[in-house]
Structure 1
């Protein structure tokens, strides 16, 4: 039989707060991550944010002399490089915050982290509530 200890609840709450703080720290760090890519000998430069959304496209005057097909290919190549770069940078931030085992896209890690955290908290809370219920039954 489990005995309810208020310190267990405090420990569970403190752990949940620590985990939420780590996730918030991770999100704050990732929000400012940008990636850069270029093509056509640097005449086309693209910046992408952590979400993969393009933030900036810079075309040098010489790039405007390219035919439309080559220019479109250069923009696409630079955008892909920027997105790859931001992905690497986000992985680095996550590895630094969550440890080397993190890896993978940020959405995957966060999607895994929250359910695991909630599952752990729910299991601990269920155990503590059962202990309380057992003690009430004993007292009756």
Structure 2
């Protein structure tokens, strides 16, 4: 039963985001538990992304440690920018995020965050110039 409760706390935030349920349907303690679970997932994701970024940069730059350090900093800043892009604002934003994510995946389950962030900026600018 404890595993099921934990699973509900992990799924519930997604249900809230898509409007399937309202926050009023959960008690204060349930909302606090969902917040803790969401934050834990995001911390794990960020730790995994940093590991992926380090591996991505090592593949790109090998023994050039100066460039690897530069690459890691650039990738981390770009990851923060790209992941702060509001995909809930519109279906267009969600399509742009998915398009750029697919375009800049490296085939090893990692993302070139610098290029993904650039792609998002370019796609938004183009969509806006087209009046979309």
Q: Structure 1 length normalisation: TM-score?
A: 0.30
Larger helix proportion of the pair: 2
- Of structures 1 and 2, the one with the larger relative CO (CA 8 A, separation 6+) is 1
Report which of the two structures shows the higher radius of gyration computed on alpha carbons: 1
